[in-house]
């Protein structure tokens, strides 16, 4: 059995969009699950980063949401 076959079961080392705590696409929930952080902290940081970064994180959010599994 290869390492790829072992990781298909949804291991914690694999990024996935959050399905349970999602609001829009599940990106912030997926990030929080991957790193073991609180999802509300990730959401607040994402909004602040979007507002302070003149909206560039909106494109990053959409790209992650469309590309990630």
Residue 25 counted as domain residue:
yes
Residue 46 DSSP label: H
Distances (CA, A) of 60 to 4, 43, 49, 56, 63: 27, 14, 11, 7, 5
User: How many beta carbons lie within 10 A of that of residue 20, not counting itself?
Assistant: 8
Going by pLDDT thresholds of 50, 70 and 90, the confidence category of residue 13 is: confident
Residue 63 counted as domain residue:
yes
For residue 21, the Cα-to-chain-centroid distance in whole angstroms is: 11
The answer to whether residue 29 scores a pLDDT higher than 60 is: yes
What average pLDDT does range 19-45 have in this prediction? 89
Q: Say what the pTM is.
A: 0.73
Residue 9 counted as domain residue:
no
Question: Domains in the chain: how many in total?
Answer: 1
Domain membership of residue 53 as a residue range: 18-67
Counting Cα atoms < 13 Å in the Cβ hemisphere of 16 gives: 12
pLDDT, residue 11, reads 52
Residue 10 counted as domain residue:
no
Residue 38 counted as domain residue:
yes
Residue 7 counted as domain residue:
no
Counting Cα atoms < 13 Å in the Cβ hemisphere of 46 gives: 21
- Name the token pair of 15: 């990024």
């Amino acid at each position: 059995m290869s390492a790829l076959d072992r990781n298909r079961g949804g291991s914690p080392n694999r990024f996935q969009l959050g399905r349970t705590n999602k609001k829009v696409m599940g990106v912030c929930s997926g990030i929080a699950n991957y790193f073991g952080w609180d999802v509300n902290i990730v959401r607040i940081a994402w909004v602040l980063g979007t507002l302070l970064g003149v909206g560039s994180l909106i494109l990053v959010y959409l790209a992650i949401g469309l590309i990630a599994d």
